[in-house]
Amino acid sequence: MSNERTIFKALSWASSFLIENGRDANAGEILLRAQLNMSRSKLFAEQRTPLADQEWYRFEESVKEHAAGKPVQHIIGYEEFYGRKFFVNEDVLIPRPETEELIEATLKKLGAAFKSVSGLKVADIGTGSGAIAITLKLELPVLDVFASDLSEKALQTAKKNAECLNAEVQFLQGDLLQPFIDNGLKLDIVVSNPPYIPIHDELSDVVSEHEPHSALFGGKDGLDFYRRFASELPGVLKEQALVLFEIGDGQGEDVKRLLAKSFSAAEIDVVRDINGKERIVTMAI
């Protein structure tokens, strides 16, 4: 068998090395695809193609970085979300596939709740990379989309993503709903994937050592931000409005109760994701 350093050999080595180090074997494929700028089908069609020494060493280094705990997305510089590439770094939460279901639920609910969606004011609170706000704007351009975050560095990343994806989103810096309250803005729809992990939960080192804790942890029980939302939402919502939150599995009834205290007449539902886990709470008033 040839001793050439082919794509096949690179992937085989990476798979074994990553498994030995307790990481996902598929990470090697993602890293090499990004490095060579190849689609998955092209990568596998060209498995016998040799890699230049520089390509091999660069790939080897990136695999070792991931094995040591650095997220794949930080190595390649982006994550795919809803079919688009979003720049990510240590200042923002890496968008998760599960959050795509929040986008789908929002588009479905607003289409059913409003006679006309043109000009509806939508706000993504705690926007991070901007994935939710930008995706909503690009999927339904007639929406008037706002995005807020407490972190100036996160907003810089979100603005970069909006510019690169040509999405017209208005960004505000501030704590939760405060920027909207301060500016007297009334909203038709509020969407958020707030920090909801209980402070004492153990996370993978890939997550805990490289993603902002302010975007992960929601207090002792993970519900701190939902408590604040329940308190602040009455000050920003229009008479008819929608609210959609991503939640952690098992938090649905608690979040539902918190919202019901402030909106006793609202229709509040807990939605499960494709894996059967509680994922979204929706509220219509």
Q: Report the CATH number that the domain containing residue 173 is assigned in CATH.
A: 3.40.50.150
The answer to whether position 90 is within a domain reads no
Query: Does the annotation place 130 within a ligand binding site?
Result: yes
Q: How many structural domains compose the chain? A: 2
Report the percent of the chain where pLDDT is more than 70: 91
Residue 2, pLDDT score: 45
Query: What's the CA gap between 215 and 211, in Å, rounded?
Result: 8
The response to whether 126 counts as a known ligand-binding position is yes
Residue 224 known to bind ligand: no
In a domain, 279, yes or no: yes
Instruction: Let me know if residue 159 belongs to a domain.
Output: yes
Ligand-binding site membership of 254 (annotated): no
Query: Does residue 269 sit in the same domain as residue 162?
Result: yes
User: Please, which pLDDT band fits residue 60 given cuts at 50, 70 and 90?
Assistant: very high
Per-residue pLDDT at 195: 76
Q: What is the pLDDT of residue 233?
A: 96
Return the structure tokens found at 204: 């993978």
Mean pLDDT of 72-82: 93
Would the annotation count 78 as a binding residue?
Answer: no
Q: Quick one: 153 and 238 in the same domain? A: yes
Q: 13 lies in a domain?
A: yes
| pLDDT value for 1 | 34
Is 88 part of a structural domain of the chain?
Answer: no
One domain, residues 131 and 232: yes
193 is in an annotated binding site: yes
Query: What is the domain extent for residue 56?
Result: 7-68
Q: Quick one: pLDDT at residue 204?
A: 57
Residue 248 among known ligand-binding residues: no
Q: Could you tell me which residue, 56 or 1, shows the higher pLDDT? A: 56
Please indicate, yes or no, whether residues 55 and 115 belong to a single structural domain of this protein: no
Is 149 labelled a binding residue? Answer: yes
